[in-house]
Chain A
Amino acid sequence: MQRAAKCALRLDISRAFCPSNVRNCRAVNRVNGSVSCRRYSVLPPPRDEEEKAMLDSMLRVDHAGEYGANRIYAGQMAVLGRTQTGPLIQHMWDQEKMHLERFNEILGEHRVRPTLLLPLWNIAGFALGACTALLGKEGAMACTVAVEESISEHYNSQIRTLMEADPERYTELLQLIKEFRDDEIEHHDTGLEHDAESVSLICWFASYEMYVLVFCCCCV
């Protein structure tokens, strides 16, 4: 339970102005608006305000989704960490951490505002993960299945939007989203393998929460 306590205390308000934290920024190429300096860039330089707004909104929602998934796994680990399913959940959590890390980089690089609801998802995600895990391994897996299903549906609709708009322009972004979607589908299948079907109410509740997250974070 140590980890649970630590997670609960990890409110970021204290790091508000820590100068050393700010100096952790990445390398040379990320700093000014000029495109030519970027070594790698997932997004194309935006043509106009509309495109920038659309891409910003997409990235904001994705980032919030990964953050929420991260917290859900943290909640599940807090309860089931020392049981047999611990290593499995840990493995899935590590992949989610990688996704979140990647989105953090993209947000920082492209000056995308993160969603204001992050503290809410911090608590709600952890609570969802912990509560479903309290129902046992099946509950945790059911939650995973529901959450991953709605995340992958969401990624699919983003892929569709980008493909309809201009596939060549968004090649790198499409690749990234496809890769993450495949990972999420893998988690979904893992959850199904491990007896998730037995608890359907959980599925409904968890997926509902994810839909709410997606709608809110687009705007806020």
Chain B
Amino acid sequence: MLCMYRNASPLWLDMAALIRGLRAGRALRGLGGVAVQGTLSPQCSNVRRGFHRAALLRLASDSKSDTSVPPPSYREVHTAGESSSSSAQGESSEDAQPNTSFQDQSGEHGEDYETEEQLQARILTAALEFVSQHGWTVEAIAAGAETLGLSSASTGMFNNGAGDLVLHFVAQCNAQLAETLAEQNNQVQLGQAESKKTGEFLKDAVETRLRMLVPYIDTWPQAMSILLLPHNIPDSLKHLSTMVDDIWYYAGDRSTDVNWYTRRAALTGIYNTTELVMVQDSSPDFEETWAFLDNRIKDVVNMANTAKQVQATGEAVVQGLMGAAITLKNLTGMNQRR
């Protein structure tokens, strides 16, 4: 159940009045048989209408004050899936809030329980369709909430407003990318596909990820500026670093020295610059962007090869010098064991 049902008995009438509004949402989730309708007593209908408005406002303010609103879906590497982790988070935040009398009345529990994080995720996903219309703003979230049959006041759940929407989208794209990469990896392990060279793999992974921005490319500069707001920077950096880590992991990187950092730093640079190029690219199907990406990856691979050659040369030179020194010592008789 939504945490808004946590209010004690004086307000159960008000809360009960909102059920009608949520029925549409529940139907969408395929929930059946929630025995809500029959519990409302007929004589409350007038009272219900009167309290409806107040309840909405109460709902918004209660949700705002009580919920911790963690940013949605941090990367979960080994856990079973997003929903289990978010439900774990939801349960821990729900512990302080006992279930309402409403649920006790209806007797429904268990599978129908939707955590707040899941609800927020649903609203934000629905809001993405309105981004082209309203931009990355709270209006888009409100429009998304309305398509789910919720009041537009449920934007009060999102303390960060547009930032929540953008971060949700980024997390969603990263999760999709990780799935795609894992699937490709499985294919390679099963021998159904050829493994790619590193440069090509990186190029394909970055291209896959950037193509997810194509539907929102017109408003993406606004999203980027939202991600650069100081209070959003920690989260956006975290998403970026987990994405880059995922890409390198599936590219086969198992380094445990400073290479770990240099590789990820380089890929972050490539990704960010390519994203900037893409945002102002007007060529058909972003051809110029992919050409830019290709060149950057080639540059980096060349640089690595050059550095390797320099090191090998350096080592050879040192060997030569040591040999010369030992020869000199031998010639001058200084090398005898005392």
For B190, the closest partner residue in chain A by CB is A28
Nearest CB on B from A23, distance (A): 6
B153 within 8 A of A: no
Least distance between B111 CB and chain A CB atoms (Å): 22
Across the interface, do A19 and B197 meet the contact criterion of CB distance under 8 Å? yes
A95 within 8 A of B: no
Would you give the shortest CB distance from A4 to chain B, in whole angstroms?
Answer: 10
A165: interface (CB < 8 Å): no
Q: A15 CA to B305 CA in the complex, in Å?
A: 8
Instruction: List the A residue with the shortest CB-CB distance to B198.
Output: A19
Does B21 have its Cβ within 8 Å of any Cβ on chain A?
no
SS of B interface (majority): helix
Interface residue? B113 (CB, 8 A): no
* In the complex with contacts A19-B197, A28-B189, A114-B260 CB distance below 8 A: yes
From A32, A52, A108, give the contact of B186 (CB < 8 A): A32
Contact of A12 among B250, B257, B315 (CB under 8 A): B257
Chain B residues with Cβ below 8 Å from A21 are 255
A215 to chain B, nearest CB (A): 20
Q: Which residues on the B side are within 8 Å of A45 (C-beta)?
A: 78-79
Smallest CB separation, B231 vs chain A (Å): 21
Give B328 Cβ to nearest chain A Cβ, in Å. Answer: 14
Q: Are B259 and A113 in contact (CB under 8 A)?
A: no
Name the distance in Å between A112's Cβ and chain B's nearest Cβ.
Answer: 8
Q: Which of A15, A17, A28, A35 is B300 in contact with, Cβ under 8 Å?
A: A17
Contact with A along B315-338 (1 / 0, CB 8 A): 100110010000000000000000
Which B residue sits closest to A31, measured CB to CB?
B185
Please tell me if the beta carbons of A118 and B257 are within 8 angstroms of each other in the complex.
yes
Q: Is A26 an interface residue (CB 8 A)?
A: yes
A201 interface hit (Cβ, 8 Å)? no
Q: Pick the contact of A22: B88, B198, B315 (CB < 8 A).
A: B198
How far is it, in angstroms, between the C-alpha of A129 and the C-alpha of B8 when the chains are bound? 69
Selected from B199, B254, B259, the residue in CB contact (under 8 A) with A15 is B259
Flag A20-60 by CB within 8 Å of B: 1 or 0 each. Answer: 01111110101111110000000001111100100000000
For residue B267, give the distance in angstroms from its CB to the closest CB of chain A: 10
Q: How far is the CA of A143 from the CA of B85 in the complex (A)?
A: 47
The stretch that binds A, out of B141-149, B218-226, B306-314, is B306-314
Query: In the complex, A129→B250 CA distance in Å?
Result: 38
How close is B141's CB to chain A, nearest CB, in angstroms?
26
Contacts of A52 in B (CB 8 A): 77-78
- B263 in contact with A25 (CB, 8 Å): no
**Chain A residues closer than 8 Å to B189, beta-carbon distance:** 28, 31
A119 to B99, CA, bound (A): 54
- Does B54 make an interface contact (CB < 8 A)? no
Residue of B nearest to A108 (CB): B254
Docked CA distance A114–B259 (Å): 10
Mark interface residues in B75-110 (1 if CB within 8 Å of A CB, else 0): 011110000010010000000000000000000000
The contact sample of 7 A-B pairs, CB cut-off 8 A, is A9-B314, A12-B258, A16-B259, A19-B197, A33-B77, A48-B88, A111-B245
Interfacial residues, chain B to chain A (CB-CB below 8 A): 74, 76-79, 85, 88, 178, 182, 185-186, 189, 197-199, 245, 249-263, 266, 300-301, 303-305, 307-308, 310-311, 314-315, 318-319, 322
